[in-house]
């Protein structure tokens, strides 16, 4: 009897193609400056909940979790660059707290746990960030990203990841709309 095929999955925010290209340009510039591997524009995202490998037969359950997770849309302004020395990552983030996004992540993770999925909780509170460069050779101090990049968040997605020689490739399995709020930030 063969083991069931696995799918490596996560929930994420996905930028528009134009925003992904702008972030990809910044990633390439930072990689040229700091060394390392720039994130390809088609793979740029903000991870909300990393699940990892699950049997393919459980993918409909993950879609149901996404459908049952209510949350509000939010506007993200990516306004600074940071560096995590422990894993040699250069990333873009926002200095302003985003409670609506934190609530969405908390609800999503609770729903995943209730459905019997294990969730990578990270190393502390949720920090919305876009990984720009992996395996940097040089560390860089925090700096402002000017002009900031505006990202209107109106949905989140369930993504399947496949590792290849050129890095990971991602395929969106399902998308889930978020409630829009006037003046949401």
The string of pLDDT tens digits covering residues 132-180 is: 999 999 999 999 998 999 999 999 999 999 988 777 899 999 999 998 7
Distance CA 42, CA 39 (A): 8
Say if residues 49 and 62 touch (Cβ distance below 8 Å): no
Residue 183 pLDDT > 70: no
3-state secondary structure of 175: strand
pLDDT of 84 reads: 93
Res. 119 pLDDT band, cuts 50 70 90:
confident
**pLDDT score, position 107:** 94
pLDDT at 1: 53
pLDDT for residue 184 is more than 60: no
Q: What confidence score (pLDDT) does residue 165 get?
A: 79
Residue pair 77/19 in contact (Cβ under 8 Å)? The answer is no
Q: Which range, of 9-23, 83-97, 116-130, averages the lowest pLDDT?
A: 116-130
Q: What is the pLDDT of residue 150?
A: 95
CB 23 within 8 A of CB 44: yes
Please give the average per-residue pLDDT across 71-83, as a whole number: 93
Q: Is the pLDDT of residue 182 over 80?
A: no
User: What is the mean pLDDT of the segment spanning 30-49?
Assistant: 96
């Amino acid at each position: 009897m063969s083991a069931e095929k696995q799918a490596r999955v996560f929930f994420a925010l996905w930028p528009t193609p134009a925003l992904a290209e702008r972030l990809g340009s910044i990633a390439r510039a930072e990689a040229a400056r700091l060394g390392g591997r720039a994130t390809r524009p088609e793979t740029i995202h903000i991870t909300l909940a990393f699940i990892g490998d699950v049997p393919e037969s459980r993918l409909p359950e993950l879609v149901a979790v996404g459908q049952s997770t209510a949350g509000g849309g939010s506007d993200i302004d990516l306004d600074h660059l940071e560096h995590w020395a422990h894993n040699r990552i250069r990333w873009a983030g926002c200095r302003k707290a985003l409670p609506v996004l934190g609530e969405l992540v908390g609800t999503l993770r609770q729903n995943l746990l209730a459905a019997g999925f294990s969730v990578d909780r990270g190393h502390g509170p949720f920090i919305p960030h876009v990984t720009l460069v992996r395996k940097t050779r040089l560390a860089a101090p925090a700096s402002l990203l000017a002009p900031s990049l505006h990202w209107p968040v109106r949905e989140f997605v369930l993504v399947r990841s496949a590792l290849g020689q050129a890095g990971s490739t991602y395929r969106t399995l399902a998308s889930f709309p978020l409630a829009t709020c006037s003046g949401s930030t």
